[in-house]
Amino acid sequence: MRKAWTPAFSPFWTERSRTASSTAVPSAIERTLAGSWKRLRLGEGKPYAPAIPSEGVKLIGLKKEGKSVSVQFYGCQLRCGYCTHLKQPRTEHELQEVLELIADPKVEEVYIGGAEPTVQKKELLELLRRLKRMNRRVTLKTNGHDPQFLRDSLGLVDMYILEIKCPWDDLDCMATLTGISRERAEKYASSLKQSMEVLRGAKVRVWIRVIPGYVTLDKVERLGDQIAGTATEVYLIQFLSVPENDAPFDGIDIPSPAEGEMVAMARRLLEFVPNVYVRGRDFKSDFRAGRQ
C-alpha cells in the first residue's frame, strides 16, 4: 500500500519508508513539487513557474574542478594567429546540461570564457541570468567586441576579464595580432574603448599577452593610460608560457620576453592601475601601488 504523502518544508518529496513498496509511484503532487524545485535549483525563477525552454550552446570546454566550473564557448569575431582555441573542436550541449553541472552544491564560482562567449549572446545572457538566481560567483572573460552585451550583463557578472592586444589607437598592431583587416580593427578598437567605458565602476581585470616586438614598454604605458579609471588590476602574461593557450607566432617559438622586461612593464603600469600581476613560465610577481 502506498504511504500517504505529507507536506514538509523541503524542495523534494519526503523519503518513503524503507518498509514501503519499492514499486510505489510518486503522486501527481509529488511529481509537480519535484519538478518545480528542480527548476528553481537550475535558476529558472519561481519554483512554480513554467520551465524555460532549453537552449543549445556550442562549447570547446566544460569542466568542474573543486568549487569551480569552467564554461568555454566556441567561436570568436577575431582570428588571432597564435590562438589555440580557434582550432579546438566544438561540442553541442543543452543549457540544462550545463546548469546541472553547476547546480552541484559544492560549486561556488563559474568562469566563462572561450574563444569568445559573446558570439553566442542569447545563450550567454540566459546562462548569466540563471547563474544569478543560483547565487554563483561569475567571472566573464571577453575581448570587448560587444559593448552593448556588456551593458546588458551589468549586475549579472562579479568580475570581467578583458584581454587587450595593443593600445586601441595602434591599428597596425591591432590588425596584425587579431588577424583582421585594418578597417575591421578600427571598428573593433572603437568597440573596445566603448566596452571599457561601459564597465567603469565594475570589477575589471585586464589581460595583456606580452608578445615580443608587438607589446613593448612604450605600448604598455599607452595602454595603462587608456584603461586607467576602469581596470582594477592587470595581468601581464608572458607569451607561450601557457602552451594550451598560445601557439608559435611570427617566428617566436619559446616563452618570452624575459622576466626583467616584464617587471619593468609592471612597474610602469602601476602609475595607472593599483594592482599588477606578472606571470611567466617559471616566474611570477605581484605589484601593488605604493608597495613596489
Domain span including residue 28: 21-52
**How far is 207 from 210, CA to CA, in rounded Å?**
9
Tell me which amino acid residue 177 is.
L
Place of cell 587608456: 226
pLDDT tens-digit readout, 219-240: 999 999 999 999 999 999 999 9
Q: Write down the pTM of the prediction.
A: 0.82
Specify the higher pLDDT residue, 49 or 70.
70
**How far is 44 from 53, CA to CA, in rounded Å?**
10
Could you tell me which of 268, 207, 288 has the C-alpha nearest to residue 242?
207
- The H-assigned helical ranges of 1-81 are 28-41
283 Cβ neighbours under 8 A, 6+ residues apart: 259
**Residue 12 falls inside a structural domain:** no
- How many Å is the Cα radius of gyration of the chain? 23
**Residue 46 falls inside a structural domain:** yes
**Residue 220 falls inside a structural domain:** yes
Residue 28 and residue 134 in one domain: no
Q: Which three cell numbers stand for residue 17?
A: 519508508
Residue 50: predicted pLDDT: 40
Q: What is the DSSP string of 204-221?
A: EEEEEEE-TTTS-HHHHH
Q: Which three cell numbers stand for residue 128?
A: 548569466
Residue 55: predicted pLDDT: 66
**Residue 6 falls inside a structural domain:** no
pLDDT tens-digit readout, 251-279: 999 999 999 999 999 999 999 999 999 99
Of 52, 74, 98, the domain-final residue: 52
Q: How many CA atoms lie within 13 A of 126 on its CB side?
A: 17
Residue 30 and residue 128 in one domain: no
**Residue 221 falls inside a structural domain:** yes
CATH code at 139? 3.20.20.70
Average pLDDT, the chain: 87
Tell me which amino acid residue 220 is.
V
Q: Which helix (H) or strand (E) covers residue 148, if one does?
A: helix 147-153
**Strands, DSSP E only, in 49-174?**
56-65, 68-73, 91-94, 109-114, 137-142, 159-163
Among 21-25, 185-189, 229-233, 261-265, which stretch is predicted with the lowest mean pLDDT?
21-25
Q: Name the 3-class secondary structure at 162.
A: strand
Residue 289: predicted pLDDT: 84
DSSP assignment, residue 51?
P
Asked whether the beta carbons of 274 and 246 are under 8 A apart, the reply is: no
Residue 109 and residue 201 in one domain: yes
Instruction: Give me the number of domains the chain comprises.
Output: 2
Place of cell 560549486: 107
